[in-house]
């Protein structure tokens, strides 16, 4: 957003301020990460990275950027994703999370070859919307929004500053693309753009950040704790959650409105609802085989006579590990298994189901079909014969204290489509207004764009 471009107009500034205030109210805990690096061979001025857990404010970002831009290449690329959270690096990254199948191979290789990359894990959301404004101020030029495909035609000049913005999408469970696929698609775009820069031999400074967090994890602050607890902590129904005790200490809690398993028989799905046997007034489930320690938890629910199987077990396996980049422990629901009369069907959580280790995980719907969070372990696994569907599901396998769930980390995003429509409409209006003003102030330079037969696009140099 061309913020400082319109700073001359008090009306627009006021509008913008109001807009920011409205949308930042109550979301001061929401942060996005920012990664900054320079092309090979360009060392950036050394920065003191923020202390773990510290949230970088807009003004701190301003001082980071002004120190860096004083010595960095003045061709600045901003990869601006719709949404991103440090969890995305944690869950889908290689270097970051020590995982083999990283969604960010190009980004990681760029970071490795850059002498002094800067990683800000938690930039305040207000700071992230201000990134472009700050860059524009320091470089003295307006941002140019680019389609990656038109970048190839761009002739860059190392001695002329440019501010190029490449927008990247991020889709979530509501469409068919998984976040991981979206992220690796974006990573490929980053790779292409960096290759074009390399081919033109123009040194650059690159920034990867987002307009908003991809998932909002609410920190529990002392002040809101009691409210949060009463709203989120109590199970949503009349029955207590399943509780597994190791010794006399409760270590696993699980609750669901419904726990449905369906078996494909004669090309028909035959459902069975495990809820009443699990949570009812007189639950018949036993927890034999469950266990937990500091790093692994396994909840085994044993049933009799389910869908014609004498012995039927539903097993949740969780693990806990420390992730350096977010400097915190996370737990993941790694597998959900069905064992029925000696046969097995295994679903992977595939890193879709996770929460900070000191919280519980909550999700409206966990299934292996329709926006699946669970996937069969192997394409030939018996899991393809089963459908599982857990509604209003909540689980906690670590850091359980007492009989109640800890604060819930919800799988759903914070913003509903309605809120987004409102936000986008306002931003669109602002954009049109800004664009109009921008056009008025830029009238003199417009003739550069008028000749369709002219040479390839060149970047406007304005004061
Ligand atoms: C880059 O820009 C400078 C200053 O505007 C100019 O002198 C130089 O010729 C340009 N170089 C190229 C390769 O276009
Ligand atoms: C927890 O249990 C797992 C599986 O039995 C085992 O591999 C691991 O070493 C145990 N960890 C601790 C800290 O006891
Ligand atoms: C999968 O199901 C088939 C037939 O129902 C059975 O023979 C096989 O043992 C099962 N596989 C596993 C891994 O349980
Ligand atoms: C499920 O997890 C197992 C072991 O963690 C892995 O070997 C397998 O490839 C995973 N399957 C899928 C579909 O992700």
Domain CATH number, residue 289: 2.40.160.110
pLDDT value at residue 223: 30
Instruction: Please state, in angstroms and rounded to a whole number, the distance separating the CA atoms of residues 296 and 357.
Output: 11
Task: Give the helix ranges, DSSP H, for 34-178.
Answer: 58-69, 86-92, 105-113, 125-139, 148-151
Distance 300 CA to ligand 3 centre (A): 20
Q: Whose CA is nearest to atom 6 of ligand 3?
A: 343
Query: How many independent structural domains does the chain possess?
Result: 2
What is the pLDDT averaged over residues 274-302?
A: 91
Instruction: Please state, in angstroms and rounded to a whole number, the distance separating the CA atoms of residues 443 and 441.
Output: 6
Instruction: Please state, in angstroms and rounded to a whole number, the distance separating the CA atoms of residues 333 and 351.
Output: 7
Question: Quick one: which ligand is closest to 458's CA?
Answer: 1
CB 335 less than 6 A from any atom of ligand 4: no
Ligand 3 atom closest to 342 (CA): 14
Question: Quick one: which ligand is closest to 75's CA?
Answer: 1
The residues lining ligand 2, judged by C-beta closer than 6 Å to any ligand atom, are 293-296
CB 317 less than 6 A from any atom of ligand 4: no
Tell me: do 310 and 363 sit in the same domain.
yes
Residue with tokens 């949503």: 236
User: Taking 70 as the threshold, does the pLDDT of residue 171 lie above it?
Assistant: no
Distance 411 CA to ligand 4 centre (A): 21
Domain boundary among 212, 242, 274: 212
Tell me: do 67 and 103 sit in the same domain.
yes
pTM score above 0.75: no
Higher pLDDT, 378 or 238: 378
Q: Whose CA is nearest to atom 2 of ligand 2?
A: 296
98: left (phi over 0), alpha (psi -120 to 50) or beta: left
User: Taking 80 as the threshold, does the pLDDT of residue 233 lie above it?
Assistant: no
CB 455 less than 6 A from any atom of ligand 1: no
User: Taking 80 as the threshold, does the pLDDT of residue 360 lie above it?
Assistant: yes
CB 157 less than 6 A from any atom of ligand 1: yes
Q: Whose CA is nearest to atom 13 of ligand 2?
A: 294
Domain that holds residue 168: 3-212
Task: Collect contacts of 438-442 with beta carbons under 8 A, ≥24 apart.
Answer: 438/2, 438/5, 438/6, 438/142, 441/5, 442/142
Tokens in use for 141? 């030029």
Instruction: Please state, in angstroms and rounded to a whole number, the distance separating the CA atoms of residues 93 and 102.
Output: 5
Ligand 4 atom closest to 350 (CA): 14
Interaxial angle between packed helices 125-139 and 58-69, expressed in degrees from 0 to 180 and rounded to the nearest 10: 30
Tell me: do 149 and 262 sit in the same domain.
no
For residue 405, how many C-alpha atoms fall within 13 Å in the half-sphere facing its CB? 29
pLDDT value at residue 26: 34
**pLDDT band at residue 358, thresholds of 50, 70 and 90?**
confident
Higher pLDDT, 53 or 232: 53
pLDDT value at residue 1: 38
Instruction: Please state, in angstroms and rounded to a whole number, the distance separating the CA atoms of residues 446 and 440.
Output: 10
Tell me: do 153 and 235 sit in the same domain.
no
With respect to residue 447, please indicate whether it lies within any of the assigned structural domains: no
Output the CA torsion sign for 276, 279, 283, 285: positive
Tell me: do 140 and 250 sit in the same domain.
no
């Amino acid at each position: 957003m061309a913020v400082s471009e319109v700073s001359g107009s008090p009306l627009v500034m006021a509008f913008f301020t109001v807009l920011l205030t409205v949308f930042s109210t109550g979301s001061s805990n929401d942060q996005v990460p920012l990664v900054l690096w320079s092309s090979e061979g360009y060392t950036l001025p050394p920065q003191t990275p923020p202390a773990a857990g510290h949230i970088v404010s807009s003004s701190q970002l301003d001082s980071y950027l002004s120190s860096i831009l004083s010595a960095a290449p003045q061709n600045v690329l901003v990869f601006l994703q719709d949404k991103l959270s440090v969890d995305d690096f944690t869950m889908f990254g290689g270097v970051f999370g020590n995982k083999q199948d990283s969604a960010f191979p190009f980004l990681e290789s760029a970071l490795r070859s850059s002498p002094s990359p800067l990683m800000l894990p938690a930039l305040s959301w207000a700071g992230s919307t201000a990134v472009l404004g700050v860059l524009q101020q320091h470089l003295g030029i307006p941002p140019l929004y680019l389609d990656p495909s038109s970048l190839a035609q761009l002739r860059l000049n190392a001695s002329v500053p440019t501010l190029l913005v490449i927008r990247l999408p991020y889709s979530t469970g509501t469409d068919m693309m998984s976040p991981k696929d979206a992220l690796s698609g974006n990573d490929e775009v980053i790779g292409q753009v960096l290759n074009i820069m390399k081919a033109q031999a123009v040194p650059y400074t690159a920034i990867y950040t987002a307009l908003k967090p991809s998932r909002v994890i609410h920190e529990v602050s002392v002040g809101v704790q009691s409210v949060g607890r009463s709203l989120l902590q109590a199970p949503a129904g009349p029955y207590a959650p399943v509780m597994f005790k190791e010794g006399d200490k409760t270590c696993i809690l699980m609750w669901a409105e419904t726990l449905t398993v369906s078996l494909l028989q004669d090309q028909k799905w035959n459902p069975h609802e495990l809820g009443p046997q699990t949570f009812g007034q007189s639950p018949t489930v036993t927890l034999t085989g469950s266990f937990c320690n500091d790093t692994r938890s396994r909840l085994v629910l044993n049933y009799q006579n389910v869908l014609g199987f004498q012995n039927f077990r539903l097993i949740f396996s969780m693990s806990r590990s420390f992730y350096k980049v977010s400097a915190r422990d996370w737990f993941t629901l790694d597998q959900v298994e069905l064992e029925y009369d000696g046969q097995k069907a295994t679903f992977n959580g595939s890193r879709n189901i996770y929460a900070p280790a000191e919280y519980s995980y909550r999700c409206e719907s966990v299934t292996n079909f329709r926006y699946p969070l669970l996937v069969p372990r192997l394409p030939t696994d018996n899991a393809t014969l089963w459908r599982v569907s857990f509604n209003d599901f909540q689980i906690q396998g670590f850091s359980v204290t007492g009989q109640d769930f800890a604060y819930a980390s919800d799988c759903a995003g914070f913003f509903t489509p309605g809120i987004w429509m409102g936000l986008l409409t306002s931003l669109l209006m602002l954009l049109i207004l800004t664009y109009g003003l921008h056009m008025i102030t830029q009238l003199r330079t417009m003739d550069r764009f008028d000749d369709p037969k002219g040479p390839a696009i060149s970047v406007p140099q304005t004061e």
